[in-house]
Amino acid sequence: MNAGKDGTRPVTRDSPEVIQLALTRLQTHLSPEARANALATFKPRSTDVIIATPLKSGTTWMQQIVHGLRSGGSMDFDEICQVVPFIEVSPMIGIDLDADQVAEPRAFKTHEYYDHCPKGAGKYVVVIRDPLDAFPSCYSFFNGRLIQPVDSVSPDAFLGALLENAGKPPNSFDERFDLYYTIESWWKRRHDDNVRIFFYEDMMEDLAGVVKDVAEYIGCGVGDEALQALVVKQASKDFMLVHRVKFDQYSLKSVCNQSVGVPGEAGCNAENATVRDARYGIHRGDLSADLVAKIKSKWKRLEEVTGCSSYSDLRKKYGRKRVFIN
């Protein structure tokens, strides 16, 4: 039993009510109305770069890389979402998506699957990550923030419910929370001239190589070895941990938290950080065998689309320096 948010009322861990409350908060903390309006009204310029990823798949990391390459390595910002806006919710914190930005090309981030993503941008930078790592990261990010009180819902209960309820529309739960559907939707566009898919694990293993690839793709810092080296340094985990407050999107978290009745400061700590020390949160090794099996079983739909029986097989075939083929 955990104390309720009033400090006295007990909360039964993993009770249906607590799980449902967490899912409801997750579904609505990014205002559905604001999201729909932003997606309907935002018209990208033909020179824009849109970073499109499933949840917890390297979005902030790629924002830092793209912004560093286009700005000469500028760190002159309070929060990364101020200079590389989050399309769906930026209007909630007063950011004008149609305005010029501090550097060119303009850059944005989104978690939308392809069908809903605003069309017309010059480049779409897509990052995908092994669901066996993205799902635990998702739990760690929301535990103590939308999951209130902290640990009132276990990883198995929360992620199991997410797997069961999120899915291809018109599923009743928001399709953005189905990592598989988001990957599928962008994978089908991998041959488009303005879509490039990057693997999170390639960023982990060869950050310098990925920075070089991104530079060539978006046309910023091409051949500039000094700038690329600076961007690699500023996109390193050590650097981003030291400057964590610039990447944790406190302004967005606060507004979204309060919209679902959660204290604005909830989740604004090291345990829930976007850039998180490995000591905090859970990892794939912390998941039960049953949950791991459920996560793996969801890949079946992507096997039909990719021809690969697992994410690891997909990366082996299409990872960095490999050519996409039909």
Domain residue spans of the chain? 22-133+166-281+308-318
Confidence class for position 193, pLDDT limits 50, 70, 90: very high
Domain 22-133+166-281+308-318: what homologous superfamily?
P-loop containing nucleotide triphosphate hydrolases (3.40.50.300)
Among the ranges given (69-83, 204-218, 244-258), the one the predictor scored with the smallest mean pLDDT: 244-258
Do the Cβ atoms of 255 and 92 come closer than 8 Å? yes
Q: What is the pLDDT of residue 322?
A: 54
Q: Of the candidates 63, 108, 29, which has an alpha carbon nearest to the alpha carbon of residue 234? A: 63
**What is the Cα–Cα distance from 123 to 248, expressed in whole angstroms?**
25
Residue 291 CB burial class (10 angstroms; 0-12, 13-18, ≥19) = buried
Note whether 279 and 157 are within 8 A (CB): no
Percentage of the chain with pLDDT > 90?
64
C-alpha span between 43 and 298 (Å, rounded): 34
Q: What is the pLDDT of residue 54?
A: 93
Beta strand pairing status for 123-128 and 49-52? parallel
R_g over Cα of the chain: 19
Of 110 and 4, the one with more pLDDT: 110
The count of other CB atoms within 10 Å of the CB of residue 106 is 23
The pLDDT value given to residue 35: 85
Residue 300: which pLDDT band, with cuts at 50, 70 and 90? Answer: very high
Asked if the model's pLDDT at residue 323 lies above 60, the reply is: no
Res. 326 pLDDT band, cuts 50 70 90:
very low
pLDDT, tens digit, for every residue of 149-178?
889 999 999 999 988 887 655 555 566 678
The continuous run of DSSP H or E covering 126 comes out as strand 123-128
pLDDT for position 279: 59
pLDDT score recorded for residue 8? 43
240-274 residue pLDDT tens:
999 998 998 888 888 888 888 888 888 776 666 67
Q: CA nearest 197: which of 178, 217, 180?
A: 217
Beta carbons of 162 and 134 less than 8 angstroms apart: no
Q: Tell me the backbone φ, ψ of residue 316, rounded to 5 degrees.
A: -60, -35
Mean pLDDT is lowest, of 98-102, 262-266, 296-300, 301-305, for 262-266
State pTM to two decimals.
0.91
Q: Given a cut of 90, is residue 219 above it in pLDDT?
A: yes
Q: Is the pLDDT of residue 48 over 60?
A: yes
What separation in angstroms does the CA of 287 have from each of 43, 150, 293? 41, 18, 10
In this structure, how many other beta carbons lie within 10 angstroms of the beta carbon of residue 94?
A: 8
Residue 302: which pLDDT band, with cuts at 50, 70 and 90? Answer: very high
Tell me, what's the pLDDT at 166? Answer: 75
